Chains A and B, each alone.
Chain A
Amino acid sequence: GENVEQHPSTLSVQEGDSAVIKCTYSDSASNYFPWYKQELGKGPQLIIDIRSNVGEKKDQRIAVTLNKTAKHFSLHITETQPEDSAVYFCAASIGYGGATNKLIFGTGTLLAVQP
């Protein structure tokens, strides 16, 4: 089955710097890659997603890139702020026609932005 690996497990950056989190997946049929942010005491919140028909997507300070050949995708946060501090999860979907979407999650990255 699908396996998603996420690195690093912890990341500490200075406010204003960029942060990059990387994930690899094993199933070449995966076609949907969301990123979630989870703050303390809350459930995961979708921050950005990408589908396999595009290589890059950007939303203000957040961007995601996808390399289907290498089977990896990355989250880029620029101009980090203290409120970006949280746990970030990547996921890959092996959803297929007629069946329900099944997300496989990475183990998470604890991002700490130092003021």
Chain B
Amino acid sequence: ETGVTQTPRHLVMGMTNKKSLKCEQHLGHNAMYWYKQSAKKPLELMFVYNFKEQTENNSVPSRFSPECPNSSHLFLHLHTLQPEDSALYLCASSQENRGSTDTQYFGPGTRLTVL
């Protein structure tokens, strides 16, 4: 596998379910991100992890819970979601160095539908 992979690619869940999204990057990067992509809206940054430490939580509701066990893996745990949480969830990674800004590489996303 190369680049950034995400599983599952599609997920349908009820509002009372608990599920998890998984992201893995094979690029040797030290930063990982979760974005939400809804129709006709800009990509919304949700969480940022740098060297496994969460450095950004963009006012995301607590029903979304991220986990970064190591610099290659990122999870998004979902529970008691709402229908408006239906969207494409994208994972990205980058190599961060102090004082420089580097390219973010995206995975294919997980299409989430909340019934």
Contact = CB atoms under 8 A, between A and B. Distances in A.
B48 A102 contact: yes
Given A42-B108, A107-B41, A100 B96 contact: yes
A51 B99 CA distance: 13
B60 to A, nearest CB: 14
A49 to B, nearest CB: 6
B43 A105 contact: yes
Interface residues of A, number: 28
Nearest to B94: A101
B42 A106 contact: yes
Contacts, number: 62
Chain B CB count within 10 A is highest, among A51, A101, A106, for A101
B102 interface: yes
B66 interface: no
Interface in B91-114: 92, 94, 96, 98-109
Interface of A: 4, 31-32, 34, 36, 41-46, 49, 51, 89, 93, 95, 97-108
Interface of B: 4, 6, 31, 40-43, 45, 48, 50, 55-56, 90, 92, 94, 96, 98-109
